[in-house]
Amino acid sequence: MPPSRLPLVVLLLVLAATAWSMLLLGLALTLPIETVQSDHAGLQPRETLVAVNGLRVLLFVAVPLAVTLLVGLLLLLARRTGWRPVRALAWGLASLLLAGAVVGFLTFLIGIFVVPGAGLLVAACAVTSAGAGQLKAGRTSRANSSTRPWPSPGQPQTR
């Protein structure tokens, strides 16, 4: 039976991605990033995303948080059940978020702020996949060592 808890590294990566995504929501409310056109020359005034676009912009800013929470739940489910499609879905969502962040960075300036959280999620998926491979390899080597009719190299032969 697979372990039911996430490894500490994966948990920390998912928590860091969650904190980063929550920070993005706070920044959308408070950080003046949108330039507002004015009649005078020189520095132009800036407003927050919410002030310029309204509260509906928070739906788009909340997407990384929703994906982060979903990937965290999927990784936990994959760890508990050992079911590969769940882990593959987590990988797919994390990769899609990272790809969307890179495309968003190239087309809109906002995408660059999503890249760190998406990178943390991809790292969490990678650590989970590596851990699953080690767990599987550990089971296989134990099973093979007890059923082989001959000793491993360097093991004394007992009869």
Query: DSSP letter string over 101-156?
Result: HHHHHHHSGGGGGTHHHHHHHHHHHHHHHHHHHHHHHHHHHHHHHHH-SSPPTTSP
In a domain, residue 1? The reply is: no
| Count of domains observed in the chain | 1
In a domain, residue 155? The reply is: no
- Structure tokens belonging to residue 45: 């005034």
0.95 exceeded by pTM: no
pLDDT digits (tens, 9 = 90+) for 77-104: 998 888 899 999 999 999 999 999 999 8
In a domain, residue 68? The reply is: yes
In a domain, residue 151? The reply is: no
d(CA 18, CA 15): 5
Question: Is the model more confident about 109 or about 13?
Answer: 13
Query: Domain range for residue 121?
Result: 8-35+45-141
In a domain, residue 100? The reply is: yes
In a domain, residue 50? The reply is: yes
